[in-house]
Amino acid sequence: MAPDPAISSFIGSASFFADAVVELGTSEQAARWVPEMCGSRPKLGATASTEPDVGSDASAMRTTAVREGSGYVMNGQKTWISLAGVAELYLVFATTAPGTGSKGITAFVVESGDPGFIVGRRLGKLGQRCNPAGELFFQDCRLAADRRIGAEGAGFTGLMRLFDRSRVSLAASEVGMGRAALEYAVQYAGQRSTWGLPIHNYQAVSFRLVDAKMKLDQARLMTYHAARLADAGRPFTTESAMAKLAASEAAWYSAWACCQTLGGYGYSRDYPAERFLRDAKLEEPWEGTSDIMRLVIARALFPRERSEPTPGGRPPR
């Protein structure tokens, strides 16, 4: 049986909640919710930031959490939330100061059963179906002040830090996905024969698999590098974006190469190649599309000037 990357995605979605509470919250909040995820009847946690009209630009989210009395009232909608309807704990990002962009983004814990919290429909997906995704709605959902994780307005920078770390983990998973597809294709190419020879003897087949191996090995080394920087406490935003970009695109290429190598069988559900392709496609838009990763990397290449250019167009020294 072929490996199922959705299992890794399922675990990663749940652990993101715990990482966020520990990273952004107080020790009391961590002690309140994290152990609930580790007991004899563990609760799953999920993270909710994406909205119907807000994906890559997280600072534009419209879900609000307005102060009322000693707590907050939340209204809005989230979509494409992993583990929606399965999780019992949700880290929801909302703005406490509408119109201020990222300055108002704040994190809150919402629990299943909270009045005004509604789980919507489960969304159909191309692949990785055992890691469900769905919609969440908040209709005058009242939250006590101790449900806020971190200070008001601290949620956006905290979310970006969490994305940096999770992208390294994603990259590692993506390298594994790509390796599974490549290994299957190599095995098939050694067993399938045409015109009296195993098909790996033909450059059209072998060179395609060589390219897949090169892309995967490059992505693996970039992932190791980003992980080393993270463990050493050094800046790694650019490196995590590079690793995630390289690994997601390598996984997709390897899955495509596997399908091509199997020919017509690559399109058949009797073989795992088509599922490799469906599962790998999620990795490119997940937690930052390939275009966004390139924007992150470009900002490191072209950092903003600290002052305006001098008259005449020459930048200051």
Q: Which two tokens stand for residue 204?
A: 């059209």
How far is residue 141's CA from residue 118's CA, in Å, rounded to a whole number?
9
Beta strands per DSSP E along the chain: 45-48, 64-68, 71-82, 89-95, 105-111, 117-122, 133-144, 148-149, 193-194, 197-198
Q: Which domains are seen in the chain, by residue range?
A: 5-152 (2.40.110.10), 157-301 (1.20.140.10)
Residue 227 has pLDDT above 90, yes or no: yes
pLDDT in tens, 51-107: 998 878 888 899 999 999 999 999 999 999 999 999 999 999 999 999 898 899 999
Whether 40 shows a pLDDT value over 50: the answer reads yes
Q: Report residue 202 as tokens.
A: 């033909």
Return left, alpha or beta for 128; rule: phi > 0 is left, psi -120 to 50 is alpha, else beta: left
Place of tokens 């490996």: 3
Radius of gyration from C-alpha coordinates of the chain = 22
Buried b (16+ CB within 10 A) or exposed e, 178-216: bbbbbebbbebbeeeeeeeeebbeeeebbebbeebbebb
Using the predicted structure, report yes or no on whether residue 306 has a pLDDT greater than 60: no
Instruction: State which H helix or E strand residue 85 sits in.
Output: none
Please tell me the distance from the alpha carbon of residue 101 to that of residue 114, in angstroms, as a whole number.
27
Which one-letter DSSP state was computed for residue 94? E
Strand partners, 108: 92, 148
- Tokens (6 digits) for 170: 């994603």
Question: What are the pLDDT digits (tens) for 246-265?
Answer: 999 999 999 999 999 999 99
Virtual torsion, Cα 235, 175, 83, 271, nearest 10 deg: 170
pLDDT at 174: 95
Place of tokens 């009209």: 53
Taking a C-beta distance cutoff of 8 angstroms, is the pair 79, 50 a contact?
Answer: yes
- pLDDT grade for 1, boundaries at 50, 70 and 90: low
Find how far residue 182's CA is from the centre of its chain.
23
- 114-124 pLDDT, tens per residue? 999 999 999 99
Q: How far apart are CA 255 and CA 31, in angstroms?
A: 42
Q: What's the pLDDT at 305?
A: 56
Exactly one of 51, 274, 287, 308 is catalytic; which is it?
287
Q: Using alpha carbons, select from 177, 173, 179 the residue that is nearest to residue 209.
A: 179
Burial of 308 (0-12, 13-18, 19+ CB in 10 A): exposed
Q: Is the pLDDT of residue 308 over 50?
A: no
Residue from 70, 57, 71, 60 nearest 94 by CA: 60
- With H, G, I as helix, E, B as strand and everything else as coil, classify residue 254: helix
The β-bridge partners of 138 are 76, 117
| pTM attached to this predicted model | 0.88
Catalytic residue list contains 36: no
For the chain, the straight-line distance linking the first and the last C-alpha, in angstroms and rounded, comes to: 60
Average pLDDT, the chain: 91
